[in-house]
Structure 1
Amino acid sequence: MKKYASTFLSKLIWFSLLLGTFPVIVLGAYSYYTASHTLQAKVYESNLQLLQQTESQIEQLLRLVDYSAIQYMNQPLVISTLRENLQSDASGVDKVRDLLNAMSKLQSSQLVAMSTQLVSLTGNWSVSETGLSALSANDVKDYGKWVEDPRTSFWSSAPSGMQLVKKIPTFSAHPTGLLVMTIPLYEINKLIGSETKLGHVLIMDESKYVFAGNDDTSLGKRYDELPFRGQLANGSEEQGFYSAHLDNERVGVSYRLSSYNSWVYLSVVSIDELNKETQDIGWVTLLICVGILLIALFISYLGSKKMYRPIRRLYDVMRDASGVVGGAETANEFEFMNDRFHGLLQREGRLLQEMKGQSLQMKEYFVFKLFQSDMSRAEISDKLAMFVHPLDWSDMCVMAIQIDTLKGTRFEEQDRDLLMFALNNIVSELVAAECRLLPVVMGDSQVTLLGRAVSGEQPFKTYLDLLAQDIMSMINRYLELKISIGFSRVFTDLKSIREAYMEALTALKYRMKLGEESILFIEEVQPEHSVPQHYPDALEQQFLDALKLADRDQTAQLLSQLITAIAADERTYEAYFMSFVRLLLQILQTIKDTGVNPDTLYTSESDLFNQLFSLNTAGQVELFFEKTVILPLVQHLEQRRDKQYQSISSEIIRMIETEFDTDLTLEVCARRMNYSPNYLTKVFRKETGINFSDYLSEQRMRMAKKWLIETDMKIGEIAKKLKYNTPANFIRYFRKLEGCTPGQYRENYLNK
């Protein structure tokens, strides 16, 4: 019977064995893994660099074509001609010729072969290098697919090449025309190159279609059809690496996702060829581990037998006392005793804890479903009864809470989830259980369904207002956060919960007008009917003029007035953002008008719009324009202006020092430099601290003293050479500055 009770002995032997061999196995495995991983990392790094270089070259070409397309499509000739029927008008010949001339200039500015086509959707004609042609029914159908695309500008792959499609006008819901620019595929392949030493390079478009690369076997296929296909990264990851099998060979695939046009760049290399040197390490490690295993097995068996004897004697006593016979003796000795004393209690506690956790999860799931899906009244009533929620509410309302901003607080953006959890707990404590359902966090909002049995909408709204003030006060006291609270309309039908949830979120969007720490009832903030929107055009023009002059004070003052004027208008929150988008577009256009490339001031223009759409209040919008958009431009213009001032002053000083003995005047300098005399006066005084005539007089006086000392020129000759009317005028001016006549000055120097 003892032969069955040796489970712990076997474990003891195995433990001793593993204690001796496990470190060696781990070290060997780690060495092999490190060598292989390092090699793959180097391959991954080199291929990513290759992909990045290829991506940079290709996207530089695409951006150049895109920029040229924008210049062409914004020409007044193109915009005005698109609405005309060139086929029915005899004057259309001249306009077609003008369009082709502008198109030829556009193509001559590119570094690659490229074709251009201008399509009129209203006139049903197109102009390309071949001339004017009418659109067929199939052409209209094909172009209609591009018109229905929500994007205003995009790249599309075609068998003949890559096509840039731009709608004209850009942001119109019903464009009047299209500009299509085509780059042949051989131009793309030239940038990729034919070098395959480090592997093949492929390019896929948005639909995962391989249209370019130096591997002819993969061209024209979709990514799902490739033998080395794998799992690409999500949209939030720009690059990655994975391994796959190709014809019984392991390959490594590096890829990059372009942020410009969502193309995917792939590089495929063989990993098996690179890993052959690491296989020797694996075999040596295996042999060493086997040898140590045999030695440790012999030592472990002898030592474990000796340590097991007292445990065996204790187990025999416990087994005989419990009267267990048969198969139960095969259990581990310690497990046998532990099961008898603690098994039942542990299972009971585990069961209670699981039931409690599942009940809370079911409640949360029900509340989420209540806000987001259309449930039947019967299902809602059944669930409320099951979770012991109140059923006698006469008035209900959805409350949504959002954090206004984390700037200026002790918290960072990564703390937002924890803060939302804290907000949810505070709401749970402040609102009585009989007046709410379970509070939940949905996205960046804390949402609660509130209700009361007391009838009357106005008393209920009074209760909601007081509750919101209490919640704001509590959160400000403990978390020092600014929040806003939105309320839906009061309703009585349980089927209206989903609609009320959307109303509460909509109410929060009107912080753009009312600012931070607002309590927003949807029926109070949302306009009941559309009203004409008044945009302050004159104030905007004053602001843009001040911006061009880099006048900081005037720009800041007019910006504040402009934001205030927009926010004070009675409009929907969508109209607010449209006005701010218009302002941002006007500023970007002003930047370009001043000769500044926006890419030198900002990371990207799209990033500016993303930041704008994430703002909640007019104050945040004003701070965004002032610090993020305007300040870099003003600093750039000031630096450019200072350099221009220095250059102008240096040129004037050079003229004075080389032409002081001529009839040099400020007007002469202004004509030579193509500036007005008043402008040169202001610039010269700002840079030197004195005016032009004083500086010229000082230079002439310096030369007069030099000639008196170093030459024997007569006083009259010096006066004439320095353009004084008479020697007397020169002597009088010299005595005024030096306290003596020119002759005395020369005599005093010679006497020294």
Structure 2
Amino acid sequence: MKIRSPRFLIRLFLFSLALGTLPVSVLGVLSYHKSSAMIEDKVAKGNQLNMQQTQQRVEQILRAADTTATHFINSALVASAINMKLVPEQFQTVNGLLLGLHQLQSFELGIDDIVLVSFNQGWVLDNSTEVLRLSDYREAEQITRYKQAGKSTFWASTASGEQVHLVKKLPLNSVNPSGLLVVKFQSEEFARLLAGSSELGEVMIVNEAGGVLAHSDPSPGWRADGYEEAMKRVLASETPVGSFQTTGNDQAAVVFRKSAYTGWAYVSIGSVELITQDSQVIKWYTYTICFIILGIILTLSWIGSRRMYRPINRLYRDLQAEPDLRPIGHADEIGYIGHQVRDMLGTQTNLKNMVARQRFQLEELFMIKLYEGELSPREIGEKLAAFNWDRQWMHVCVIAVQIDTLRETRYEEIDEDLLLFSINNIAEELIPLPRRLKPVVMHRKQVNLLGCAAGEEERFKSMINELCAELKLKVGQFLELSVTFGVSRFYGSISEARLAYEDANEALKYAIRMEPGSVIYIEDAEPEGTQLARLPVTMERELLDAVKLADEELAKERLAAYLQGIFQEKVSHREYFVPLTSLLLALVRLQQTLGDEREADGKGEKSLIDELYNLKTVKELELWFWHVLIHPLINRLEGLRKKQYARISDQMLAIIQSEADTELSLEDCASRLGYHPDYIRGVFRKEVGVSFSDYVSTYRLKKAKDLLTDTDMKITDIAEKLHYTNPQNFIRYFRKQEGMTPGQYRELQRKKE
């Protein structure tokens, strides 16, 4: 049988591996993602905090400049001068204004220039100490746009983006301003403030139109072309604070804050890869630990799976080595074992059902053998236990029922067996189960064995009378027949059922002088002292069996017991010779079956009987039976048996030697020779000294060694030729017997040659 691959081992290993790796893998992935999310959240919160600090730092300067400018324009000097014509005569006013402008332009605030404009008088004054006409001023158009703006104070940037302007109208909150103060900041100053936040990535300030006012990268080549989409999302956001990630090849993390003071947006754009750099370290550390754990789990799973699989594999291979078990396909080891176990259980169930169906026949067979005296007390006890017939009886008797006549009835002779079985069924229904064994039909009679415990003899006799009367009534009622009952003496055990059966039969012989339908007790019909001829029948049969077995010791023992059983009865001298003559005739008949005719040597049955009647003592009887009859019979039987054993063993050896390379079995040999397999098994072992299977295996091994030495046949071909179950079985058996494999044996023989 072909050995399958260890499917269950693979499944067990994969299951164990999955059971160990799945939690570790899930734990590793979840740990990484959780730690990454926590790190990214902390980074985002840190960026927001840094962005807030940057905003506060920038707007602190802006608010300081705004506050200073507000104080300046609210001064009396500015309020009076804004409506004056600044002519040379007003040089003191001009000097006062210039001094105020110079005081506003401090280095700490990063103010680049300050412009004071009077719309009513049309002049412009800046840090150049020169009073210019508004119409001639280079930024007159920008001043006009600022005047038209709807806000009294606001922030604006130039078209080039190089400057940021704080614009304040005079007077404050006026719909039609008379003047204007413009505080100019260089964008480079804001970039310098943003440079301190470069760890956030690229930080920039974006106005409400999306223009970049300042950037943390002061290099002139920097451009904002790559961030249009991010700027749109920032400006479109309704929340003052937020963050998001851009999509595409270059993912970026964007953090922004919108200023309610200036309307600007402070934006930080950083690489996602840089932000998640720490989480990447954690990822590889986690994955490394997980892979190490997975390697350990892989090793332990394999070792553990093999250890758990070992007994399953042993049972699986033992089942596969059985040639009688049919193979099944597409099943692992557990499926195969389960299938075979179910087959065995099914076979066991079938056998149980078969035994249950045959129990009825077995019970009847047991009862017939019991009545015929073919069972020893030990066998009787075993059978009673097997049938669960636990009967603690101290007295037993047999009731035999026979049909009186079928004449003048509606039945014919052919119906007798059927009628007896009907009577048997009625008896089985009427007699209580604790009081009986199995009723049977034998020798044209229906027979019942009944019993009772100690001290119930009188009640038992009454019950027998009642049962016979009721059974007679039921048979007459249902079958319209008359039956007669024969009742035996009471005996002390079930093992004496044969004697009770003979009593019941003897009682029925007296029916000829009785009325039909009588109940005949043997004790009433037969006189005392006529039992001796029947007593030693069982012993006689056992003695003859010992002679047939050619067992001298057993024959001597049973001969002595037979004679003792006869002479312990106190009867007349002539009655002793009735069973002795019966034994003599039985031994003579046995001699004749063996071809030993007494007439040939002048001693016939008559002369032997005369010799028997002339013997005076029990010892003489024993010696005479032994030397004259039994011992010669045993010698002849032993000689015939040896010849027969030798002939059978020679025939079996010839069959083995000629057919060793076939599927030879003991049953085949028994069928050819015409004997039972159990018989020739014992004969072969006795004559050859080994069992049939051992001899066949040894002979096949010898042939295998010859083939290994004399031919180049493959080992698998040799195993197949000699009908081994599979090559592995052949190799194992060869190594067990020879101490080496077939291949090693072949090499050794070739080296010797």
> Shorter-chain-normalised TM-score: which range?
0.3 to 0.5
TM-score (norm 2): 0.33
TM-score by length of 1: 0.33
- Between structure 1 and structure 2, the one with the greater Rg is 2
